[in-house]
Amino acid sequence: MALPNINPSFERVAPAIVAQAARFQPAILADVAGRRGALHGRIRALRPNMKVAGTAFTVEVRPGDNLMIHAALALAQPGDVLVIDGKGDQTSALMGTIMMNAARQRGLAGVVIDGAVRDSLELEEMGFPVFSVGTNPNGPTKEVGGRLGHPVCVGGVTVYPGDYVCGDADGVVVVERDKIESLLAAAEHKEAAEAKRIAQIQEGNTQAPWLLASLVTAGVLKQGETL
């Protein structure tokens, strides 16, 4: 029987591609993806050392209600990241230690939630990657329907089920499922170029090579002028 609000079967980024992409910082991937895909900065790692990489299992809930997150925990696959549209609500927590333990036990890679969580000290001890807009000790209701496996808007970014999701202390980046593999070579080149530039800076060459030309283009300097 088809369930229009629940779509558990969708194509995901292949595990081998996830493993390759996970080598790169979210900032690198955002840059090579055209400086897009980064969720709003309100969604941050619960602790700075938390990192996540995996495939999006999308969840839409009503503010303050986590019924559909419980359903998602029953359907998500190992390696999935729950990406939850909680409408940015911070009046109650949508997940805590019990649900996070269930997520880890099922092999999920982490949780990204546009909403609040609780039991933060216990979650820190668990070391399970959690990204949220903050914490609140209030518990949620479990009464209102929502959707699973459909596109959601989280932190201002449209996330489709199966997209690649990664996060670290800088925040969370989402890359389209059919695009991530094509960005890996560019990410590797970007990472190498940045390492080379840092080495040059450490040798004393601190001025950006593009700076003068950009200042001329912006009208700050005339052609031939220097700083």
* Helix H or strand E encompassing 175: strand 171-175
> 226 among the known binding-site residues?
no
| Both structure tokens of 209 | 């090579």
* Partners of 6 in the β-ladder: 148
Q: Residue 74: what residue type?
A: A
Q: Which residues are paired to 148 by β-bridges? A: 6, 59
The answer on whether 80 is annotated among ligand-binding residues is no
Asked whether residue 89 is marked as a ligand-binding residue, the answer is no
170 annotated as a binding-site residue: no
Indicate the helix (H) or strand (E) that contains 168.
Answer: strand 164-168
Strand ranges inside 11-156, DSSP E: 44-45, 52-60, 80-95, 110-117, 130-132, 134-135, 147-148, 152-154
- Residue 16: partners with Cβ closer than 8 Å, 6 or more residues away: none
Is 119 annotated among the ligand-binding residues?
yes
Q: Is 97 annotated as a binding residue?
A: yes
Q: Determine whether 194 is exposed, middle or buried from the number of CB atoms within 10 Å of its CB (0-12, 13-18, 19+).
A: middle
Known binding-site residue numbers: 96-99, 118-119
Known binding-site residue numbers for substrate: 96-99, 118
Known binding-site residue numbers for Mg(2+): 119
